[in-house]
């Protein structure tokens, strides 16, 4: 089953968009969308993780290693599995600028993705925010 957005882009309705807005406040809040995203990828779904506000810190090289979780695997392991499984990472450009994120310190597979692109990508996807 597919749906169409205004740009006539077909995206299956059972694909996912996870938005992460926080980073170091609570490790499980950072880990949860990665756990869900990895599960969706394992089921063959297309997944986009969009990082905004403080969440862009996750895209900074080495930052995932600093997050401590209570209930989940380490965030750096979850992120590595996500990237290795083909998950995409979009990063809010103004937020990246605010948090000092550049192409030189951004992890592989992360891409700057502004509001218009993110909205285009969200059409037909199930969305979750953390």
pLDDT at 9: 57
User: What pairing do the DSSP bridges indicate for beta strands 2-4 and 47-51?
Assistant: unpaired
- List the domains of the chain with CATH numbers: 12-129 (3.40.1260.10)
pLDDT at 2 over 70: no
pLDDT at 8 over 60: no
Neighbours of 5 (CB within 10 A): 15
Q: What gap in Å lies between CA 35 and CA 64, rounded to an integer? A: 14
pLDDT at 123: 85
What tens digit of pLDDT does each residue of 53-101 get?
999 999 999 999 999 999 999 999 999 999 999 999 999 999 999 999 9
pLDDT at 6: 41
Q: What is the DSSP letter of 16?
A: E
What tens digit of pLDDT does each residue of 23-60 get?
987 899 999 999 999 999 999 999 999 999 999 999 99
Q: What gap in Å lies between CA 117 and CA 114, rounded to an integer? A: 5
DSSP string, 43-81: TT--EEEEE-GGGGGGGBTTGGGG---SSSS-HHHHHHH
């Amino acid at each position: 089953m597919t749906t169409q957005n205004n740009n006539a882009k077909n995206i299956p309705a059972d694909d996912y968009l996870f938005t992460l807005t926080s980073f170091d406040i609570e490790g499980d809040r950072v880990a949860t969308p990665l756990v869900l995203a990895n599960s969706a990828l394992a089921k063959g779904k297309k997944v986009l993780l969009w990082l905004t506000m403080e969440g862009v810190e996750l895209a900074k090289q080495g930052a995932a290693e600093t997050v401590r979780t209570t209930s989940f695997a380490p965030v750096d392991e979850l992120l590595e599995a996500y990237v290795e499984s083909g998950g995409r990472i979009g990063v809010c450009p103004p937020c990246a600028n605010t948090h000092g994120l550049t192409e030189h310190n951004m992890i592989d597979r992360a891409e700057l993705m502004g509001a218009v692109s993110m909205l285009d990508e969200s059409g037909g996807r199930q969305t979750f925010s953390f």
